[in-house]
Structure 1
Amino acid sequence: MLDIAGELSRWAEEGRGFAVATVVAVGGSAPRGPGAALAVDSEGTVVGSVSGGCVEGAVYGLCVQALEDGGTVVERFGYSDEDAFAVGLTCGGVIDVMVTPFGLRSSAREVVRSALSAAASGEPTALARVVRGPAGLLGGVLLVRADGSYEGSYGGDSGLDRTVAAEARAMLDAGVTGTRDLAEDGTHCPGGLTLLVESNVPPPRMIVFGAIDFAEALVRAGKFLGYHVTVCDARPVFATRARFPEADDLVVDWPHRYLRRTATDGRTVLCVLTHDAKFDVPLLKQALRMPVAFVGAMGSRRTHADRDRKLREAGLEEGELARLRSPIGLDLGARTPEETALSIAAEIVAARRGGTGVPLTGAATPIHHDGRRPAGAEAA
């Protein structure tokens, strides 16, 4: 539910009761992953989505029922060969959805309210909920913060609370949303409890080096994909707010010097658009040795060959050079800055999700897959 925290936090502040339907497991081809949520308030207002439209009507009904009877339920929705247009996922997948009411007198309401407020304000937050286990624990919630502190309790079992908090904090540190299996006594073994841990973390970073016209279009694409976008260029005449009004940050500095001092992590995307050796070589020498998600560089194949030679001379090894995506982007036949930005964005998504980049028409590859993610987990 943290993906719709802004609206739900407002509902909570206004004193509305509401029920939340959350995707807790996915099988096969399904449009949305664990953590996706749809909520219905006591007046019938809807926010969010769990399936892109396939089962929303049925889920809405479950939320209304949960508000009436106060019970938490887990329902499975899947494709039916007998009636493809009945309630189900006609795309062929299966999703498990947990529906939990948070009425005005709900015991978990204050914990959820704190979690929603923290997530809406951008604070790193994890919300751990029981999706399988003893009836008395189903729907139980624990709010875990980045420092390891937590609010809430699973039936007063402090040992279980501490174990769940440790698990949730580890997932929060990794920026992962997914499920974890625990025994009720807090040990790791089959059976016991299944938890859904939703992680709310700051958006991943995209750093665009080179304040050129292609960068203007890439900034817009990066924002559309949910990145915090920084533009860096050593030339102040080009790195201006007038040219990059949508960028989160504008930096005038030598690219390699800025990269050395700025914060990056395993979700960071680096796009080098300068195609000038005096900028590219020292920058890429550093970038290709950092644990970031993606490093791509613009330029012709001749530029790439020359850059590759210079990087080898600078001491980079085969494994490091293999991380470089150059020329950056998928082969879309792109010409304009906007088309080129689309090709770069498409390669970034393919790299993140484990996609092949080939047309889906006639392909045997899955439509929805996370080839580079752990089973049962999705990036936040």
Structure 2
Amino acid sequence: MKKISVLLVIGFCLLQMQRAQAWGFFAHQRINRLAVFTLPPEMMGFYKHHIVYLTENAVNPDARRYAVKDEAPRHYIDLDEYGDSAVYKLPRRWEDAVKKYTEDTLMAYGIVPWQINRMKFQLTRAFKDRNAREILRLSADLGHYIGDGNVPLHTTSNYNGQMTNQKGIHGFWESRLPELFSDNYDFFVGRAEYVERPQQRAWQAVTEANTALDSVFTFERKLNAEYSPDKKYSYEQRGNVNTLVYSKAYSGDFHRMLGGQVERRMRAAIRMVGDFWYTCWVDAGQPDLNGLVDFKFSKEEQEQMQKEQQEWQKRREGNTKIREEAHNHPHGADEDHHAFAEVEGDCSCCSFHVFLTETKIEMPIFALPPSRIPSVTAK
């Protein structure tokens, strides 16, 4: 029998939240950035000139989740709440869905496919108005919602495996795997094409994502049975913090079992973002964007964006009451029941709690600097 000895610092869980990198935002930013290169020359100049903005602000919708009423449901749809074959039975038009289920019900279970279509109309209007500020803002936001709609775990109420004893699987699939393996993905998806029926395309993305969901849970459950907890998790240095993560071996095996699923969903998202940006531009009459290339946000706007980013970073670091409440109820107790798993990716505190539960370790409490937290070892 293996004996596992671990020393835990007071405040270990808090340290896990103080990360140097934007853990969980990697894929969203890469999707928006790569979508720029699918665009035709008439759009490429403007979008490429502002590619840094589109990349960095790909996460803005997540930053608004606690500040804007009704923002949270725009990121997901819990199809299982509507019964069997819901993805094929739900009305595609918002008005029809409201008549059948009421708006309160739709908001309770998420509206991401309808939100994508709504954003499409808003971006088209911005192109018609040749409003560079709104074109950039809405392009970044639309890319985020499309990215969410292509993630299998954004289509179920079991979004973080909390119903199947697989807590942490959301960040594992959405964050850990892309960060480890996406450098080897083929992201050449071709040129953007016009979307004849945007609402149907949004539902197609959600349907394909939901179809992949069973494999995510089944393969992780099977793999978990083959790994001891000390091999399933490992520490990685992030800045000056030792963070508990899914081990590279466990991640690699899961990634291979999925057979390219994460790559396919990222490719689909990149292509779809480019297609929607292009479609909005075409529907607006293909306005000349060359005159907008040199647009710059005002000093006041830049300061405001910087302030919002700083406030969001504080929330992510657990320095606000909102974040503390989210952490106290990490998997569904608060109103924004997808927020914790999606925004933070894999919660290291909760993963570590699962680790301790699985190994039945009695933990002595010591105060150690991060550099002296020992690795998990088996004897």
Where relative contact order (Cα < 8 A, 6+ residues apart) is larger, the structure is 2
Larger radius of gyration: 1
Q: Report the TM-score range of the alignment, normalised by the length of the smaller protein.
A: under 0.3
Give the alignment's TM-score, normalised by structure 2. 0.24
